[in-house]
Amino acid sequence: MKKVVFLDRDGVINFEPNDYTYQVSKFKILDGLFDSLSVLKQKGFEFIVVTNQGGISKGIYNHQDVSSVHEYMSSEFNTAGLDILDIYYCPHHSINENCICRKPGSLMLEKALAKYNINKAEAYFVGDSDRDIVAAERAGIKGIKIEKNDKLSNYLNQF
């Protein structure tokens, strides 16, 4: 069974400017992230990104914008010697529709848990909002809440 750290995107992986991040030119990896993930990789963890992208539902950006950002993000991870096992995103927003994939719903996590045979006892979800932690609890894994845009190294003792 796999050991996995699920990562929220905006505010955990990249700088969250309190606006939608959907352009590669505005996607800035947080300082020290790759050093922290390298420590977790040495402990046997793999990484999956789980992110709400409600700006699609609102018509602010589209699936191709998200794909471009995720391709760039994956490339930056690879350059740092890290791999992203998978990326899940919810394009819905509660102002336009109801869904069960948008966090705090746990469907994205549950799909990954089943697809990759992940050991729930060795799975963590790092997020910067209460909805991330609720999604983790609903999926039966431990949530680790960090401050938005904070260094992951400040939380490594929780793994």
CATH number of the domain at 26, please. Answer: 3.40.50.1000
Tally Cβ neighbours within 10 Å of residue 125.
26
Residue 91, CB half-sphere, CA atoms under 13 Å: how many? 11
Q: Is 130 a catalytic residue?
A: no
Please list the pLDDT of the chain residue by residue as tens digits (159 residues).
999 999 999 999 999 999 999 999 999 999 999 999 999 999 999 999 999 999 999 999 999 999 999 999 999 999 999 999 999 999 999 888 989 999 999 999 999 999 999 999 999 999 999 999 999 999 999 999 999 999 999 999 999
Domain that holds residue 36: 2-158
Angle at the Cα of 159 from the Cα atoms of 15 and 128, rounded to 5 degrees: 30
The number of domains in the chain is 1
Phi and psi, residue 124, nearest 5°:
-135, 150
What angle in degrees, to the nearest 10, is found between the helix axes of 130-139 and 107-115?
40
Phi and psi, residue 30, nearest 5°:
-70, 145
Active-site position among 8, 65, 128, 132 = 8
Q: Is 150 a catalytic residue?
A: no
